[in-house]
Structure 1
Amino acid sequence: FVLIRVIYYPIHRKKDYLFTYFLFNILIFFLCVLLNNVKLSIGFAFGLFAIFGILRYRTEQIGIKDMTYLFSVITLAVINALVSKKVSIAELVFTDGMILLVTYVLEHLWLTRHEAMKQLIYERIDLVKPGRRQELLDDLNERIGIKVSRVEVGRYDLLRDTVQLRVFYFEDEQDHRSFNELAADDDD
């Protein structure tokens, strides 16, 4: 908790990774506890490693949160396949219940607001100067129609007189459609 919530999140502010780190921690803990009670053959251990290795070499792009759910589903399947005399049904039910409860709490009841981020190419390079931060925020608010909470400046392209910006905003503060919907309309 301290590593993820107190050290990592205040600096990086990536809620999807926060969710992933907490859930991976719980899943791996329960998987190791249950696997510790079952004597496994080398073949089964390599098979388990191969299942999780497939996640790394996927062909279709999948988001970090979706990948976490995929890992969760695989973990639950492996855990539930371990029914034996050494692992009781009560232990499996408790483990499944805890994984589902932690997932629900992290997904629905977590006390952080979701700060979304979009990357933009911005041509008003004069507003990117440190002394004009509020003007930059006001211009972005006006032009893209969302309430921007903060901006990170990326790479400058002085030939085109543009700069890459990472624009952060809270989805629950928006008066209308999300930035994703606005971007989809622009693509049409």
Structure 2
Amino acid sequence: MYLLNLLLQIIPNEEELRFLGIKLINSEDYIELITRFTLNLGVIILIVVGLYAKTSKRKDFYFTYIAISIVIFLLCFLLESVKIELGFALGLFAIFGIIRYRTDAIPIKEMTYLFVVIAVSVINALANKKISYAELITTNLLVVIGLYILEKILNLKQEISYRVIYEKIENVQAGKEEILLADLKERTGIDIKHFEIERIDFLRDVAYIYIFFDIYGKNKNDAK
């Protein structure tokens, strides 16, 4: 007991540990930062690696999602200490909605996961003292469970379409849909689910056709 009292006298109080008028450490806020950061990172890794990665071949997004989550969480958590407006958090979604990574087109599913990653990070960072950790953990679990249901149980497929110019005009006639579909599959090597004829150019003897297939499905050559 004597040694403890001696240490307390030697070690300066937190209020006295300042550099240029700023506290060197605030134990309560520091512990909260580590706790929430660990929770957020764990949930994001579960979403990205456990759910998204299982149905996606776009490995380039793994780094993007985790990096954005870390930056957004730290940004919101640190600025929350100075009582930022809710509009700041909503503004983050507007920024990404406008930018949309103009260097490359992002499929709808990837954009949805990006929105989820940002939303989860903002929730974990800005949840105030009135929200218990039990409520915060439950909220994160509900997001994960919802995504799991959509990905695994409902087994939703994401389709993409290509526009092709088809020159065998005789196969575009009514009643030859199966022949046309089989020929498109054979020539493209893609497991086409369905197609739509946009227009037929009789002057050039070609048809403009949209083919639809699962974006993450195997093509015919892979299936063999």
Decide: shared fold, TM above 0.5. yes
Q: TM-score, normalised by structure 2?
A: 0.52
The reply to whether residue 66 of structure 1 matches residue 107 of structure 2 is no
Q: Distance in 1 between matches of 2:174 and 2:202?
A: 17
Q: Is 1:121–1:165's contact at 8 Å kept on the other side of the alignment?
A: yes
State the identity %.
36
Superposed displacement of residue 132, structure 1:
2.0
Amino acid at match of 1:165: I
Map 1:33-52 → 2, pairs under 5 A: 44-52=85-93
Matched residue count = 137
The CA RMSD over aligned residues, in Å, is 2.8
Amino acid at match of 1:129: Q
1:109-139 CA distance string (max 9 Å, x none): 3245565543322112222122221221232
The reply to whether residue 176 of structure 1 matches residue 221 of structure 2 is yes
Structure 1 unmatched ranges of 5 or more: 1-41, 179-188
Map 1:61-140 → 2, pairs under 5 A: 61-112=105-156, 117-140=161-184
Q: Distance in 2 between matches of 1:146 and 1:66?
A: 22
Q: Distance in 2 between matches of 1:89 and 1:112?
A: 32
1:29-72 CA distance string (max 9 Å, x none): xxxxxxxxxxxxx9623212321111221123222111111101
Map 1:8-19 → 2, pairs under 5 A: none
Structure 2 unmatched ranges of 5 or more: 1-82
Q: Is 1:83–1:89's contact at 8 Å kept on the other side of the alignment?
A: no
SS in 2 for 1:81: helix
Q: 2:96 maps to what in 1?
A: 55
Q: 1:5 maps to what in 2?
A: none
SS in 2 for 1:84: coil
SS in 1 for 2:180: helix
After superposing the two structures, state which structure 1 stretch, 160-169 or 121-130, moved more.
160-169
Q: TM-score, normalised by structure 1?
A: 0.60
Q: Per the alignment, do residues 45 and 173 of structure 1 end up closer, same or farther by CA in structure 2, a change over 3 Å counting? A: closer
Q: Is 1:117–1:168's contact at 8 Å kept on the other side of the alignment?
A: yes
Q: Distance in 1 between matches of 2:89 and 2:107?
A: 22
Q: Per the alignment, do residues 109 and 136 of structure 1 end up closer, same or farther by CA in structure 2, a change over 3 Å counting? A: same
Q: Is 1:117–1:169's contact at 8 Å kept on the other side of the alignment?
A: yes
Amino acid at match of 2:89: L
